Amino acid sequence: MANNPIKAVKGVKDILPADATLWREVERRARAQFARFGFKEIVLPIFEKTEVFVKGVGEETDIVQKEMYTFQDQGGESLTLRPEGTASCVRAFIEHSMYHPPGTITKLYYFGPMFRRERPQAGRFRQFYQIGAELFGALEPEADAEAIHLLWLFIQSINIKGPRLYLNSLGCDTCRPPFRAALVNFLTARKERLCETCQGRYQRNPLRVFDCKAQGCQQVMTEAPTIDKHYCPDCQAHFDRVKKGLEALAIPYELNSRMVRGLDYYNRTVFEVTAEGLGSQNSIAGGGRYDDLIKNSGGPAVPAIGFALGVERLLESIGTPLEFSPGHPDVFIVYMEAAADEAFRIAGRLRRTGIAVEKAFKPASLKNQMGKADKSGARFALIIGEEELATRTAILKNLKNSTQQPIPLANLEESLTGLLTS
RNA sequence: GUGAGUGUAGCUCAGCUGGUAGAGCAAUGGGUUGUGGCUCCAUUGGUCGCGGGUUCAAUCCCCGUCACUCACCCCA
């Protein structure tokens, strides 16, 4: 053991081969589900100009205020490792004029790492992976319902344990200010009963007090005015149709008028999915509508809705194991020292024809090699010792049913290909 | 940023009120001079996170430090 081995950065994990297979299976199923809804993949850069996130995510958010990995490049420009995907996606949407012609619907999804400098915890990492989707150009509540449907079906497809969908509407610029004023009013009158952090923020961001877990704040908030009594007619109608849509699609949801999302850009529909088996951070997905973000980011007034899932959390909350083939070798070559050169050449020949071959670089005992062959999951062991070398005929052992047969070395490629495809 | 808990073999963990360490799994060899999954035997493998202190003696007690974990904040 080395004295001071270099370790990975805090909060950052290696995804080892044993986990990577499951990881990729989840990704594969996500792609399949997105494709069914007509979403196309967009591969975004993992760093952007800092202002993309400051303006996109919101200056008041925790993400921008204390969690971003920001650095200056040699040209003096401030760059940031992306803490989330929507801001980048919106930047790309505008940059490539995807809103043309007017009325265009654009459906995008992405998959990749995000970076936030938080204290690591169960289900929380400094580099974590998100699967995200964004739907641009639709104001209709049916878009909200379809986006949630997509999310819900994907969650079903990977056997998530105990998923629960929480739904709320945050209203819009018309109904939010009066509600906000009412809330600030309410809180000011009860300022003494709030916790320290809430006393500090209730004027700037009164909605956050809903999320506070302090006893005093919780009690106060049970009587607080909620947004659902303040919707303007348009928002009320929109939310009603979203709910109707979810019911038509048989998606179970729970209303939570106290749900507030941590990003500033949301309006109207917001939602969150929690699952079992996760510890304290039990939210596996979250999203909502952001009808003003594109305009505020310098683009046209295009409405949008999106969501993101946290891959590490998904993996932790998978119930019944997913079935998939982990990729075993076709043939494991077991050989003796005398046949080392021949085994090496045969491996080369077989691999050139596309057969998956595994073999030791240095032969251990036959027992050992057979054990490795078994563990590798290979279908066949190809055994080559001195006798086989002399007769130019190897032994092919089927590891699944323990039968074996002699097989001439001359046309191994053909005979093996035949056996493997049968 | 705050708080708590844990650091002993590659992995999962024992180790009583201080006497410098053990099991299971894994690995390697053997029982079958050339055949895996089961079984049996043997072997390899440890600066007991790091630094200091108390003591005749510290894995164990004390202090510091680092790392990991969980929780708060907040989020995926």
The string of DSSP letters for A35-52 reads HHTT-EE----SEEEHHH
Asked if the structure places residue A208 within a domain, the reply is no
Sign of CA dihedral A128, A133, A134, A138: negative
Residue A222 has pLDDT above 90, yes or no: no
Residue A189 has pLDDT above 90, yes or no: no
If asked whether residues A309 and A363 sit together in one domain, one would say no
Residue A354 has pLDDT above 80, yes or no: yes
If asked whether residues A276 and A376 sit together in one domain, one would say no
Give the CA-to-C1' distance from A211 to B60 in angstroms.
45
> A62 is written with which tokens?
């925790």
Using a 7 Å cut-off to protein CB atoms, list the covered nucleotides of chain B.
Answer: 1-3, 10, 27-30, 34-37, 46-47, 67-76
Question: Residues A3-13, buried b or exposed e (16+ Cβ, 10 A)?
Answer: eeeeeeeebee
* CA A416/CA A422 separation, integer angstroms: 10
* CA A98/CA A94 separation, integer angstroms: 7
> A395 is written with which tokens?
């032994």
H helical segments located in A37-111: 50-57, 62, 86-95
If asked whether residues A47 and A170 sit together in one domain, one would say yes
At A4, is the pLDDT very low, low, confident or very high (cuts 50, 70, 90)? Answer: low
Average pLDDT for residues A64-91, to the nearest whole number?
94
* CA A10/CA A180 separation, integer angstroms: 39
Q: Smallest Cα–C1' distance to nucleotide B32: which residue has it? A: A367
Full strand arrangement of the beta sheet holding A357-359: A357-359, A331-335, A380-384, A393-398, A404-408
If asked whether residues A117 and A167 sit together in one domain, one would say yes
If asked whether residues A380 and A408 sit together in one domain, one would say yes
If asked whether residues A280 and A342 sit together in one domain, one would say no
Residue A389 and residue A338 in contact, taking contact as beta carbons nearer than 8 Å? yes
> A21 is written with which tokens?
């297979």
> A204 is written with which tokens?
């700037």
Last residue of a domain, one of A277, A292, A316: A316
Place of tokens 């683009």: A299
Indicate which CATH number applies to the domain containing A373.
3.40.50.800
Greatest C-alpha distance within chain A: 96
Give the CA-to-C1' distance from A136 to B1 in angstroms.
38
> A135 is written with which tokens?
């739907």
Residue range of the domain that includes A30: 17-175+231-316
Segment holding A221, helix H or strand E:
helix A215-222
Asked if the structure places residue A143 within a domain, the reply is yes
Q: How many helices (H) and strands (E) does chain A have?
A: 16, 16
If asked whether residues A362 and A402 sit together in one domain, one would say yes
Asked if the structure places residue A193 within a domain, the reply is no
If asked whether residues A283 and A339 sit together in one domain, one would say no
> A195 is written with which tokens?
């916790």
If asked whether residues A33 and A128 sit together in one domain, one would say yes
If asked whether residues A128 and A243 sit together in one domain, one would say yes
**In the prediction, which pLDDT does A1 show?**
39
Q: Smallest Cα–C1' distance to nucleotide B10: which residue has it? A: A1
**In the prediction, which pLDDT does A144 show?**
97
If asked whether residues A242 and A142 sit together in one domain, one would say yes
For residue A6, the SS3 value is coil
* CA A254/CA A276 separation, integer angstroms: 16
Indicate which CATH number applies to the domain containing A289.
3.30.930.10
Asked if the structure places residue A41 within a domain, the reply is yes
Q: Which of A152-156, A221-225, A309-313, A367-371 has the lowest mean pLDDT?
A: A221-225
Sign of CA dihedral A205, A187, A199, A120: negative
Give the CA-to-C1' distance from A281 to B76 in angstroms.
9
Burial class (CB in 10 A: 0-12, 13-18, 19+), A160: buried
* Interval A81-110: pLDDT, tens: 999 999 999 999 999 999 999 999 999 999
> A34 is written with which tokens?
């997105």
Asked if the structure places residue A164 within a domain, the reply is yes
Q: Torsions phi, psi of A324, nearest 5?
A: -165, 160
Say what angle helices A233-248 and A141-157 make with each other, to 10 degrees: 40
Asked if the structure places residue A305 within a domain, the reply is yes
Give the CA-to-C1' distance from A1 to B8 in angstroms.
15
Give the CA-to-C1' distance from A15 to B67 in angstroms.
20
Across all strands, nucleotide nearest A7 (CA–C1'): B67
Q: Torsions phi, psi of A357, nearest 5?
A: -115, 135
Across all strands, nucleotide nearest A313 (CA–C1'): B76
Count of domains for chain A: 2
Across all strands, nucleotide nearest A114 (CA–C1'): B76
Residue A31 has pLDDT above 80, yes or no: yes
Give the CA-to-C1' distance from A9 to B58 in angstroms.
33
Q: Which of A56-65, A80-89, A350-359 has the lowest mean pLDDT?
A: A56-65
DSSP character for A355? -
Asked if the structure places residue A246 within a domain, the reply is yes
> A23 is written with which tokens?
């990881």
Last residue of a domain, one of A257, A281, A316: A316
> A291 is written with which tokens?
């009808």
Give the CA-to-C1' distance from A2 to B10 in angstroms.
14
* Interval A146-161: pLDDT, tens: 999 999 999 999 999 9
If asked whether residues A309 and A336 sit together in one domain, one would say no
Asked if the structure places residue A413 within a domain, the reply is yes
Q: Examine the predicted complex and report whether its ipTM is higher than 0.85.
A: yes
